[in-house]
Amino acid sequence: MIKKRNRILTVILLAVQIQSSAHSQALMQDAIRQPVLGIRCKELFRERSEKIKFQQKLNGLLQRNLDISRKTPKNKTGVTARIKANEIEIKNELHLANLQIKTMEENIVRSGCPGLSI
């Protein structure tokens, strides 16, 4: 009877030890992967914030260009044409920046980075 209890206790302790070992191994793998994921996420967020700053600069330039366009006399056709061409270039750059930001946000979500506020 005592031998059976000892065997049962031994089996139970062995099972608990195996489970504990598996749990600690899983925690160790998370500890190894987590900082790498954090560094990658920080890099993705940094790139996104730089692109958003660039987008804001383009919006400022576009607004300035529109103000200049309104203030330019109509008889200055050469200047008006250059301002209009500049406006088209800025709008194209702004559209490209918006597409890049959208792609970056999708990449951040696909990477599994937490805390993206769109």
Q: Tens digits of per-residue pLDDT, 54-101?
A: 999 999 999 999 999 999 998 889 999 999 999 999 999 999 999 999
Structural domain includes residue 41:
yes
Structural domain includes residue 117:
no
Joined together, the tokens standing for residue 45 give 């967020």
Structural domain includes residue 116:
no
Secondary element (H or E) of residue 117 = none
Q: Which burial class, exposed, middle or buried, applies to 75 when counting CB atoms under 10 A from its CB (0-12, 13-18, 19+)?
A: exposed
Joined together, the tokens standing for residue 47 give 């790139």
Q: What is the mean pLDDT of residues 17-33?
A: 57
Q: pLDDT higher for 28 or 4? A: 4
Joined together, the tokens standing for residue 62 give 């576009």
Structural domain includes residue 57:
yes
Structural domain includes residue 118:
no
Number of domains observed in the structure of the chain: 1
Residue 73 backbone phi and psi in degrees, to 5: -65, 150
Structural domain includes residue 37:
yes
Q: What is the mean pLDDT of residues 17-23?
A: 61
For 9, half-sphere exposure in the C-beta direction (CA atoms, 13 angstrom radius) is 6
Mean pLDDT computed over every residue of the chain: 81
Domain ranges, residue 107: 2-111
Q: Please work out, in degrees rounded to the nearest 5, the angle formed at the alpha carbon of residue 100 by the alpha carbons of 112 and 52.
A: 85
pLDDT band of 31, cuts 50, 70, 90: very low
